[in-house]
Structures are given as structure tokens and as C-alpha cells.
A = this chain, B = another copy of it.
Amino acid sequence: MKVVTVSNIKGGSAKSTTAIHLSESLSRRGKTLVIDMDMQADLTDFFLPNLSPDSVEDKNIMTLLLGKSSISEVIIPGKEIDIIPSTLTLSKLVRIASDSFFLSQQLKKALESVKSKYEYVVIDTPGSAKYELTSALYVAQLVLIPVTPSKWAIRAVNLLLDEISQTESLFSAKKESAFLPCLFGASKKHRDILERLKTIEEIPTLNEIPKSESIKTKTEKNQFLKKGSNPWHAFDILADEVIKLIDPESIFPFSG
């Protein structure tokens, strides 16, 4: 089981969109679990459109982090992709829990108990530096950082890298990270931001996910991308890149 945490300390950075379509690509390669750790619950809405907020009130990612539910109680099984839903109440976690250490240990233990069941786990995180972010960084083999060409991009990336280092030193664990450029255009301003990103040491920048209306509309309509379309291929390539980073041995020799 390999865990990919999708993160960026800035809302509107295409985190949820990336997590959704990457999960779909990975699920074609192996059984995949998606964990929604953002109280905005975009992934929960996407994967479980008919779920009522009341029905997950007692069994969700927050009750799992707090040790009040077991992982089997909070997983909602899907056909290809299982999901642990989020809830708005997660916004209060920071006041309920006194620090992030206990939460991180709970999440790690929970995932270990299902490691034979899943090949991949994808975690979506909040656009903020909160306790649940630390937990999601702690359990990750790879932190995938979608970056959009906003003027806050480099600042947000630096804040996240701080969080990753803090988590690494808190738990003595080294993490892989990678940047994923999303929504970049050909303008000089966009290219400048991308060039600055590429100068950030030791963190690879993956192939760009192209700006695409169909990614936006499909996601809003709770649909996966059309098989064979350009955006579909972009996420298919991303899945291969991700696997190469987290699990180099699983790549078939000479397959690319």
C-alpha cells in the first residue's frame, strides 16, 4: 500500500480535482482508497453525491482521527474506489484535539490495518495548515503538490515545505514531494512562476496537467474524464509518474 497526499496551503489550487482524477487513474492499476480530509468535502460530494451530511455525522474522517471509529466503520465501499468521507464538523478538530501527534498515530495505525486490502491511498487535504494536514503528511509516501499560476503560488509552496520539514523532524520520517503544475498558460507571468518553481531544490516538477474546460465541467457533474481524451491521458501519465516515485520496483523493466 502506497499513500499519496495531495496538498497545498492555498484554496483553489486544484487539489480536489487532482485527487479525484488521480484516484481514478490509480484505481485502474490497483484497488484504491480515497480519504477526504478537507471539511469542504468536495471529494465526498464527488464520490458520494447521494449521501446526506447527517448520515456521516458519527462515522467520518474526524471520528477516525480521534479514535472514536475504526477504519472499517468509516470506509464507504464503492465499485472501484472506496472512500472515507469528510464532514463540516472537521472544522472544529483543532479545538478538540490538543496536538496533531495523537491524530497522526491514529491514522497510521488505521491504515496499517487495511494495508493488504489497498494498493493505493489518495488523501485530499484542507487549504490550511491544520492538525489534519500534519496527519496526512505523516502517513504519506509522496506529497503531491498541485500548483496553479497564482501570485501566492511560491509563497504557498514555501509554507507547505515548512510544514513537511516540521512533520519530518517531528516523526523522524523523510517524505518524497513533487510539484504538479495545473492550469498554467503560455503567458510570460505564468512561465515565470513555473521557472521559479523549478528552481526549488530537490523537488521534481511533473508533467503539466493542461488547462481544460472538460476537467472542470466533468468534475462539477460528478463524472470521471472521458477515456482516451487529452485530460484523461494527462492523469494516466500522472499515475505512472506517481508510481515511479513511490514504488520504483513495481515499474516493469523497459516499460518507460
Contacts and interface: CB of A to CB of B under 8 A. Distances in A.
A92 to B, nearest CB: 5
Interface in A70-97: 88-89, 91-92, 94-95
B11 A40 contact: yes
A95 B159 CA distance: 14
Given A40-B10, A40-B11, A40-B127, A152 B92 contact: no
A103 interface: no
B9 A91 contact: yes
A225 to B, nearest CB: 22
Contacts of A130: 91, 94, 128
Contacts of A182: none
A98 to B, nearest CB: 11
Contacts of A127: 11, 40
Interface in A141-163: 151-152, 155-156, 159
A11 B54 CA distance: 19
A52 B151 CA distance: 7
Contacts of A54: 155
Interface string A148-181: 0001100110010000000000000000000000
What copy number does this chain have within its complex?
A: 2
B88 A9 contact: yes
A53 interface: yes
A39 interface: yes
Contacts of A92: 129, 159
Nearest to A153: B53
Interface string A196-222: 000000000000000000000000000
Residue with the highest number of chain B CB atoms closer than 10 Å, among A127, A128, A152: A128
Interface of A: 9-12, 39-41, 45, 52-54, 88-89, 91-92, 94-95, 126-130, 151-152, 155-156, 159
> Which 4 residue pairs are nearest across A and B when measured between Cβ atoms?
A91-B129, A91-B128, A11-B40, A53-B155
